[in-house]
Structure 1
Amino acid sequence: MKAMILAAGKGERMRPLTLHTPKPLLPVAGKPLIQWHMEGLRQAGVTDLVINHAWLGEQLEAHFADGAALDVTIKWSPEGEPLETGGGIFKALPLLGDQPFVLVNGDIWTPFEFAGLQLPAGKLAHLVLVDNPSFKTQGDFVLVQGDVRNPSGSAQALTYSGLAVLHPQLFEGQQGGAFALAPLLRQAADAGRVSGEYFAGPWVDVGTPERLADASRLAQGA
């Protein structure tokens, strides 16, 4: 199985740290944030990686090159214009092939073990869900006996962690350009074609300098 790491965000909430450094290269416990994902995927046997980039992306390519130093193989998917999450994945599909692939948001930190991730038969997506962080009062999806559903009624919704397995067929009918991933996931959830799991371990959405510091503290204890 291949994996795609999303690394095209501009990291505006991280300024001034990201004025001259792309967010994925910001250090967490002494190593670039994105490198934690690369090493975690490699430990799970996932060594074929596709990484998109935009803002200061040439720094990412210069730092990691083809990935040989980390015993992975990296194919880069540069974006000349903002494509959002869905558009960025769609552009990279020729590099990912026609089989399910792991998707990792590059701006999170977690010691999640990728080895157990899989896509059940008949599903278009499998999402890893976590408890809602303090800065987010409402969740994204409801998990019911392994199925992911859109929120309704009083059911407690959880937050999408930024970790998933997707099937390329999720993007059938898309024409390219900039578009979000969330509407595709919600449509597939309504059709009963999204599964999920709950992760109770450490997880940080590294969206601010304060949360970058939180990730470093957790990583030092991992």
Structure 2
Amino acid sequence: MALPPASHSMQGAPNTAILLAAGLGKRMRPLTATRPKPLVEVRGQAIIDHVLDHVRAGGIRRVVINVHYLADALEAHIRRHTPDLDVAISDERGQLLETGGGVVKALPLLGDRPFFAINTDNIWVDGPIDTLRLLANRWDDATMDALLLVVPLARATAHGGRGDFHMDALGHLRRREPRRVAPFVYTGVQLVSPRLFADAPEGAFSTGMLWDRAIAAGRAYGVVHQGLWCDVGTPAAIPIAEDMLKDG
């Protein structure tokens, strides 16, 4: 699907990612009774470690990770498993801030260039091009505030929804209409500009409200994931994800 040519106004490829790891993991109970959801294992490896492997493959070396639920266990795991990365912790022990509020709190750690924001409850297998490099190659700083990785609804493994977005030939996104089906599902992986968070509200809120503002301005785009993807939100999804990884 065609997108505008890449802009040269962004100095170099994105080099920072925030991993959103602060959630309570309620849908993953009882596995999250004693551990945070990012430490639930898929094929013998914590979900967050699968994500960190992709971060490394994408050439990212600066990583911010937000923590809230069972934060001590998550921080200890991160220290053991990321000696090769420059990791900063954004501490939300005092208040869970949701996706949007969590990024806003972490902005001082993320710099002034576009950065990846990645949920830690999904597993993916890259297509012909490394997924994070695909997003970076498609980024156009002149026209975009958000570039979301989406997957066709028909290929959204273990995902029970009706889709999230429609996308036109240039990659512009628009929301699914109520009581309808949309052809694309958000994967939990996005490349965003700090501009997206300008004048954001204080406290806890979803990034979705900022997407809506960017959609209205014509500055929210999507790119289709070329590989495999699985929504690992419940215990039932774990064997499905493991099968996908085995085949992938």
Q: TM > 0.5 between the two?
A: yes
1:136 offset after TM fit, Å? 3.3
Q: Which residue of 2 aligns with 1:86?
A: 100
Total equivalences in the alignment: 221
TM-score (norm 2): 0.83
What are the within-5 Å matches in structure 2 for residues 123-162 of structure 1? 123-132=144-153, 133=156, 135-145=159-169, 146-151=171-176, 156-162=182-188
Tell me how far apart the structure 2 counterparts of residues 84 and 68 of structure 1 sit (CA, whole Å): 24
1:33 is aligned, of 30, 47, 51, to 47
Q: What SS does structure 1 have at the residue aligned with 2:222?
A: strand
Cα contact 1:67–1:74 (8 A) shared by 2? no
- CA 1:168–1:66 in structure 2 vs 1: closer, same or farther (change >3 Å)? farther
- CA 1:191–1:66 in structure 2 vs 1: closer, same or farther (change >3 Å)? farther
Percent identity, please: 37
1:221 offset after TM fit, Å? 3.0
Tell me how far apart the structure 2 counterparts of residues 48 and 207 of structure 1 sit (CA, whole Å): 26
Query: Which runs of 5 or more residues in structure 2 are unaligned?
Result: 1-14
Tell me how far apart the structure 1 counterparts of residues 30 and 229 of structure 2 sit (CA, whole Å): 24
Q: Which residue of 1 aligns with 2:228?
A: 202
Q: Which residue of 2 aligns with 1:115?
A: 133
Query: Which runs of 5 or more residues in structure 1 are unaligned?
Result: none
1:218 offset after TM fit, Å? 1.7
Cα contact 2:20–2:66 (8 A) shared by 1? yes
Tell me how far apart the structure 2 counterparts of residues 24 and 187 of structure 1 sit (CA, whole Å): 29
Tell me how far apart the structure 1 counterparts of residues 236 and 201 of structure 2 sit (CA, whole Å): 38
TM-score (norm 1): 0.92
- CA 1:152–1:19 in structure 2 vs 1: closer, same or farther (change >3 Å)? closer
Tell me how far apart the structure 2 counterparts of residues 125 and 75 of structure 1 sit (CA, whole Å): 23
C-alpha distance after superposition, 1:160-193 (max 9, x if no partner): 1111001111111124211111011011011100
Q: Which residue of 2 aligns with 1:164?
A: 190
Q: Which residue of 2 aligns with 1:96?
A: 110
Q: Which residue of 2 aligns with 1:13?
A: 27
Q: What SS does structure 2 have at the residue aligned with 1:35?
A: helix
Cα contact 1:127–1:160 (8 A) shared by 2? yes
C-alpha distance after superposition, 1:116-169 (max 9, x if no partner): 212212210001111224653422111112222234598844111111001111
The CA RMSD measured in Å over matched residues stands at 1.9
Tell me how far apart the structure 2 counterparts of residues 84 and 97 of structure 1 sit (CA, whole Å): 20
Cα contact 2:230–2:241 (8 A) shared by 1? yes
1:67 offset after TM fit, Å? 5.3
Give the aligned residue type for 2:146.
A
Tell me how far apart the structure 1 counterparts of residues 172 and 80 of structure 2 sit (CA, whole Å): 37
